[in-house]
Structure 1
């Protein structure tokens, strides 16, 4: 039987820990199924260089502020480029040629049996600043098989001006799976398309044993509370500091930028990619507003508190509902009952994940054909 070759487009180049790790998991999953896998070296224009990232970050700022903030961000972005590029080169089968624009994809060589839109926020028009056609495999001819695996829309409703384009793109897919129940509802109800499957994020599709290979020993001898925070929120900081104090734990902050050193907690400054998994695996508690930090906490059976961000909260609500852990969502910043309600028994959540993993593999077997 011929080995299927599958080429994946996802967001492994956005310098986000979860984005990189979901790509690693996706590669492992397809290889485990006997496929030959590679990834398109797709780089969103706003992530194509440190200069472009600073320009995007500071686009709404005045001249002096733009210069100052850009100056402060430069070392962070350079450090991220070095760390992420090295990790991807070592661990992911990425094609050499870089593709950024629709124009670049006009010369894209079609050599694989299947093309796949991968996980992460590939279909989130807010995050991607529009409907990016390459992420909907617009460059792949009609006769070539197209699938999606755990793609994310992120929000609970598509805007009117993106409905038609999104519907037309998705009609070309042979098999569609998404990682949120809300995304399934959008495609079925707003777009009127059927046969959409809700699957786990790839980082959950692989189990704890897979991720433990990246972990090593703990960086800390004493128990610690880990903050992984993507959105500025002073109440989040105050709560985490008081929670750690009441637990009698060291407070550690996973800093994705150098300027976060001034926030509460011992700073882990732009750590290595594997430290994302390691710090979560050994934490007493993870306090986070991140989907992937929540997903890894569940998968590594680490006690956690989930704080929903102001937007894209559907991803967090979906995974907590799936595994029956909605109670880990912090609603009131004066609620410190979590101090005495440590989550130790993940038996129910683990059993649900095992069932959902089999559902995910069933989808992929059919999708690959």
Structure 2
């Protein structure tokens, strides 16, 4: 069975040390193991190898959405607010003013007017109709989602109002709903129960994010050649669990660390990137948590590999390994390829899968 060796931060140092030791070994060539020096044996395997670059990141949630009350009449009183961390879905209350829940509908722009029979067609009406269908208060057969407030829209609004135990008027007053891009995850609550709710621009009641977990990266400019848009990566969570992800955003502008930040003056400029998790549930309970992102920087498939410790430096330059065949011991030259964790790709005449090589005893 093939294995995929992954080079983590510690292994990267080990590989760098092995590669850097080449000059020293050529200048001080290894000699055959002297009698009495313990050695062991390992098998030449055919496998896939890869090396990864580890970039630290922060797990959080995408989007930042300030939520306002948009009532156009007299100021009201905030009578209910959600707690931070609460997830609010379509049709659910986001907060309450004067004991009337303000419900979440999905849309790409805020409400700016009352919606009722006689209003001109617009994207707000289309968003309302889309939500009424999604909530089950209308179907494609009885309501055409076209942005026009028709008698069918009026009837669907009445069914919705009746279902949520609100006055059945057939119109949606300004301030009765808040349009947001999708589900909300409450992060901070800016208002207080009992405080005023006004339609003023500065009267923000709460802040929220989406529920899409993602990792924000600050990639050093020296490593940007290793990270590409749409790269598949592996994210290691604080508890040690791993989850697949993909690079979905990668900036083209580097940011210089501020010299006023303690300990950051000597850091390299970085490029911002975002990794979206393949399994959203993996990050559902974490916010602003440190994580490691493993980006595959090089890989080879179907190659012969031996433990790195099997390599010996040859007096004339280059590397070799000792093949063991019964009681015989034979030195052959090899060309090292990709180093990956404890294994190294090797090529050489007389080398085959399943052969036995000499390694230092463990």
Instruction: Give the TM-score of the pair, scaled to structure 1.
Output: 0.17
The structure with the largest helix share of the pair is 1
1 or 2 for the larger relative contact order (CA 8 Å, sep ≥6)? 2
The structure with the largest strand share of the pair is 2
Greater Rg, structure 1 or structure 2? 2
